[in-house]
């Protein structure tokens, strides 16, 4: 059942990649068209309509840039779900072997392997909280506090 869950998540990620690729290509095309339109408008003699159109181009470009930044959510979600699938597969391998299932050393190695995959600080904080025995709600609160404090940078590199 754990492997089935991992496969289902991987399948959905693969399907979502196709949609995101389409959106990315569309945004790239829109940006190119906006640049061409702006270039043509700048070549025209100045008038109120031209100036208003240039402002619209600028505002549209800003909206497109904001949308591209919002795509980072998808990247974060995809990375997180890839970790979940790896963890489910690893857990499945661990519990299918009675020698490993009841061996505390194997569990510690598994936990170390899980934590080493995390690249986002929020993931590490949640993991550490759960390992320390905190509840799910407490772990989520720790993550949320970290993200609020880190709000000054809208982009978390991972």
pLDDT band of 158, cuts 50, 70, 90 = very low
pLDDT of 11-61, one tens digit each?
888 888 888 888 888 888 998 999 999 999 999 999 999 999 999 999 998
Residue 156 pLDDT > 50, yes or no?
no
pLDDT of 68-109, one tens digit each?
888 878 888 888 898 899 999 999 999 999 999 999 999 999
The residue extents of the domains of the chain are 15-70, 74-152
Q: Per-residue DSSP letters for the chain?
A: -HHHHHHHHHHHHHHHHHHHHHHHHHHHHHHHHHHHHHHHHHHSPP-HHHHHHHHHHHHHHHHHHHHHHHTHHHHHHHHHHHHHHHHHHHHHHHHT-HHHHT-HHHHHHHHHHHHHH--SHHHHHHHHHHHTT--HHHHHHHHHHHHHHGGGSS----
> What pTM did the predictor assign?
0.67
Residue 149 pLDDT > 80, yes or no?
yes
């Amino acid at each position: 059942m754990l492997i089935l869950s991992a496969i289902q998540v991987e399948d959905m990620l693969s399907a979502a990649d196709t949609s995101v690729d389409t959106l990315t290509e569309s945004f790239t095309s829109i940006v190119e068209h906006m640049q061409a339109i702006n270039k043509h408008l700048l070549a025209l003699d100045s008038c109120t309509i031209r100036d208003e159109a240039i402002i619209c181009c600028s505002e549209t470009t800003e909206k497109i840039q904001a949308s591209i930044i919002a795509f980072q959510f998808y990247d974060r979600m995809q990375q997180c779900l890839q970790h979940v699938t790896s963890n489910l597969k690893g857990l499945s391998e661990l519990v299918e072997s009675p020698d490993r299932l009841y061996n505390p050393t194997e569990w510690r190695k598994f936990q170390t392997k899980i934590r080493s995959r995390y690249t986002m600080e929020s993931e590490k904080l949640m993991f550490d909280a759960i390992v320390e025995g905190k509840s799910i709600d407490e772990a989520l609160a720790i993550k949320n506090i970290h993200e609020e404090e880190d709000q000054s940078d809208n982009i978390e590199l991972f």
